[in-house]
Structure 1
């Protein structure tokens, strides 16, 4: 079927889904809703029905759909220059890097596009640092990761994943990684040796179900990395940029990693933007021609990123995540024993474990969809709540009330 742009809005939801099933790779299993527009915390489908977005595109939409400041920055830049590649500079690049470095408290920024690219870049930088600065013998660098991690789906990244869906049938796998239980500082300490160049962790494991580590865990990781001259890399691609109630999730634990990995919300939901942020003693190992990206740090990305940084500098979104996260947690806790077995959260980011007697996570998501609420399951029995930070407390109450009712039914 060949369609013009004018014809596509006339398709039914079922026809849109059938086209996708027939002509796109089946690497996702989306809920049966077809978005046509969105604003704030709400998505409207092709039939005109509205849904409360409680996923925020995995935190990419922290500042809400169609945020006016972000859209204005994108529109203005598109009218000027959209791409130069890094073969030339442009007037948004330097200010973006300086402003992001200042926000995070580091010297330098390596802009990329997707979160997985930021992780891949960090792996390369850590290895190069290990050989050139630490003095690890060539080809022997190792990086410690955590069980249950999710850092992306490239070949290198799935090589250190323990998720069978992400990993199976993609070998041979990239060597050089050791995995230890998340939250177990003793196991991490035992895994460090003279070849270790970095420890790569999510401060809070998102895809695993919003797993918050023990209070002293990240501080111990920081101490171990300092003692053994190992880089501490914090993957804040989902947890960063106000989602947890601070600009960075690491701030909850009073730790400063050597490298931060940012993405998702950094693009304001308008364009893909990611970054590795570190001091010059780390990112300075890169020289011209040794790493790059045609679209990384492009003018539109930098303009949008600067608008995001300006929003973050007000503190408004961090404050909303703290207040609304507490409000959401109170509501979700009231469901424990009524179809919910456990709730975990940090800021406006919650993992809710569903009692298997009440259905799978997917089934609960499908029931909520019929009531106009969009959430996403993970690992079978867990659903995640991560609405845009512009959501209202009354909307959260409505979502919790509907969750209560679908579990009771």
Structure 2
């Protein structure tokens, strides 16, 4: 029986004999890729190889657009860098893709459970690095793929979200710095509790941004420019919930959706003529910051003072509010009269509150939703969960209403019904539903 040491020595002798051919998009068992060698996708769009980010001398395996080597879109060993240029990417004895250092220690592995008898690694034209059996080279049957393990970047065709059948979550994690691709302080992920919505989370201070819930047509905070440049796809099934996009503008040769090391979401495109990266979108509206106006406040970016209390509410701390410190939020001017009769104030074209304390029924009508809210004295607002076909489904909120933004554009946002005592509703009769 061979000892592990003898096996490794023989293994690397084989690798040194069967190197990587120039400009290939695949390599197979018995081949290897050394520092200075690379895989290139068949259409010359993407390259996989060794790189050092920024001013760092550490070495990593990554994927980048070939037109822009500095634009790295995926990193394999982001938590365990090589300290020299003697790394080797090869197949392990069970078919895993493995990165070895100079002392033959495993630095990174694809680490999948299925054993491959005749494995092949291929860099696809989409920028997806896939592993599969050699006989399935022309199929979409992958044993492992880099698209299932994003770094800080989403490419066209890549899914962000959940495969609930196997418990796989795909999310973006920022780099720690421009020189360090190890996982940083920010995560951009799909929250599927209740209605799906994307959230930008700071590991130190919680939510920084959210898209608003999926309303059956769109995420309300996704801007028109992204709809103009891309075909946005959201799949909301029982077994899988994910977001992806495809570029639709032929003049762009490349595009990326990325979460940078400072926690800023950005969408870039590159022109075929200049290959220069252009920032097409990044949230810069102060109302996009999470809970800018505090509890029971509403944010309107078109106003000089962007924060106001919802009607029927007053600043919890008038002194702080007057100093433009809105974090304390607002409180009811008059408590609701439950179990006596209350009514509802209609607020249109808004990003509905975050789903913190809520109840959801996706088959109710709006009238049934209203009646359900009135049954519970803790219910503070209600809305349809889906805007298709005039609206359907029911969301109830309990407690404070957090992170409401009003939109100026038509076809954005939803209608929220806020519970108020009858005495308050008399002041806003043209916007109210009396009960």
Q: TM-score range by the shorter chain?
A: under 0.3
Q: Which has the larger radius of gyration?
A: 2
**More strand as a share of residues:** 2
**More helix as a share of residues:** 1
By relative contact order (CA 8 Å, sep 6+), the higher-ranking structure is 1
TM-score relative to the length of structure 2: 0.24
